[in-house]
Amino acid sequence: MTTSPVCIEVKNVSFSYNGLPVLTNINFSVKEGEYVGIIGPNGGGKTTLLRIILGLLKPTSGEVLIFGQNVQSFKDRFLIGYVPQRTAEAGLHFPATVEEIVRTGRTARVGLLKRFKKEDLAAVQRAMEIADVTDYKNHLIGHLSGGQRQRVFIARALVGDPKILILDEPTTGVDILSQEKFYTFLRNLNHQMGLTVIVVSHDIGIVIDEVSTVLCLNRTLVCQGPPNEFLKDEYVEKLYSKKVKFLIHKH
């Protein structure tokens, strides 16, 4: 792990919204193949940080480098697969099939004025198989259950053959059993396919059980390191300003 090259570098990033600081001086880097969990209280800036890493928001100061290039000018953004919040409720009224939706994740990679080629269509089938949505590829997205819809968004994120997968609160609105399955699935993507995974979650118990690195965010980076490091009381108190007990899931 220590020899893996760095794929994401967040350098002195600060972000203010209407003059109010949301993030202050964030510094960290993610190596290829790492599995990172970002945790912290609501309003701590987790989603804002993700949006800055994805290039959707410009930081007030500092910069984010993806494979050594500033994300704002980074051309191959499809190398980052992104699964946004609340996918279980997304696309309910959109009149398109699962396959049509999954294809949108490949659009940027195919390029302007070009059609989907054989290899792109094969990638679409592959992504649907990995996310286990092939059985209902011709169903309208609105006719699926929340858990199924969420997997469609995973397939969509994987179809561009990304190197990095970023997920924002992926298990919101999904029952516990599906949650456990979901994290097993993520672990496999990380271990077997070597995908760099960054997951934002409020479910601290599951996250610290799964990931290789924890980032604790509450407007500043309170701590970063392996999960066992995070369980020290000083960090928990610093992050949540009070004593919190964690329920650790064992597999």
Partner 1 sequence: MFEIFQFDFMIRAFVAGAVIALIAPMIGIFLVVRRYSLMADTLAHVSLAGVAVGLLTKMNPLVTGIITPVIAAFCIEKLRSARNISGESLLALFLSGSLAIAIVLLSIAKGFNASLFSFLFGSISTVMPNDLYLIVGLGILVLGTILALYKELFAVSFDDELARASGISAQVFNLILTVLAAITVSLAMRIVGVLLIGALMVIPVIAAIQFGRSFRQTLLLSIAFSSLSVFLGLFLSFYLDLASGGTIVVIALIIFLLSLLRQTLKKTFLIKVQNGF
Of 2, 42, 73, 138, the one binding partner 1 (CB under 8 A) is 138
Which one, of 78, 77, 44, 58, lies nearest residue 169 by Cα? 44
Structure tokens at 12: 């002195």
118 belongs to the binding site for partner 1 (CB under 8 A) = no
Distance CA 14, CA 162 (A): 27
Q: Cβ closer to partner 1: 94 or 246?
A: 94
Distance CA 46, CA 88 (A): 20
Q: Cβ closer to partner 1: 109 or 249?
A: 109
Least distance from partner 1 to the Cβ atom of residue 108, Å: 4
Of 105, 147, 170, 227, the one binding partner 1 (CB under 8 A) is 105
Which one, of 6, 9, 7, lies nearest residue 64 by Cα? 9
Q: Is 172 exposed, middle or buried (0-12, 13-18, 19+ CB in 10 A)?
A: middle
Least distance from partner 1 to the Cβ atom of residue 52, Å: 12
59 belongs to the binding site for partner 1 (CB under 8 A) = no
Q: Is 155 exposed, middle or buried (0-12, 13-18, 19+ CB in 10 A)?
A: buried
Q: Cβ closer to partner 1: 105 or 147?
A: 105
- Three-state DSSP at 144 gives coil
95 belongs to the binding site for partner 1 (CB under 8 A) = yes
Helices (H), the chain: 46-53, 98-104, 107-110, 118-130, 146-158, 176-193, 204-210, 227-230, 233-240
Of 59, 160, 170, 227, the one binding partner 1 (CB under 8 A) is 160
Binding-site size, partner 1 (CB under 8 A): 33
Among the residue ranges 2-10, 26-34, 60-68, 109-117, the one whose residues contact partner 1 (CB under 8 A): 109-117
Among the residue ranges 35-43, 102-110, 210-218, 229-237, the one whose residues contact partner 1 (CB under 8 A): 102-110
Among the residue ranges 79-87, 125-133, 144-152, 236-244, the one whose residues contact partner 1 (CB under 8 A): 79-87
| Dmax (CA) of the chain | 56
- Three-state DSSP at 52 gives helix
Q: Which residue ranges make up the site for partner 1 (CB under 8 A)?
A: 54-56, 75-78, 80, 82, 84, 90-91, 93-97, 100-101, 103-105, 107-110, 112-113, 116, 138, 140, 156, 160
